Amino acid sequence: MEGKTVTTSVSIRPADALFLSWATGINASGLFREALSEQMAYRNIDRQRLVELVERTVQDGSRDFDELRERTSCLEDLEALLDGHDQPTPSCDE
């Protein structure tokens, strides 16, 4: 399966940038993904389920990433959107 990669920039403090320049063997994008995974676990987001739903959307081709960002704020929103319901679920807005 061929997928698109969404890129973004992250602001870091000068001390962190300096450390990363010293520690050239550190994969900064890997650290970022690890931190995201930790936050997903903390917020009780099933990462594998999220990956599955986003990949399903990409394969389908009917929606793009910007639409997902605009119309969803939690996993339940994404599930509802992909199942054909346009309204966010109340549990996401609480």
CA atoms within 13 A on the CB side of 53: 19
> How many domains would you assign to the chain?
2
| Pair of tokens at residue 45 | 């987001």
Residue range 14-49, pLDDT digits in tens: 999 899 889 988 988 899 989 999 999 999 999 999
- Tell me whether residue 6 is in a domain: no
Distance between CA atoms of residues 81 and 78, nearest Å: 5
Co-location of 57 and 84 in the same domain: yes
Q: For residue 1, what pLDDT is reported? A: 42
Co-location of 23 and 38 in the same domain: yes
Q: Residue 89 above 80 pLDDT? A: no
Residue range of the domain that includes 19: 14-44
Name the nearest CA neighbour of 81 among 58, 61, 59, 53: 53
| Amino acid at the residue 85 | H
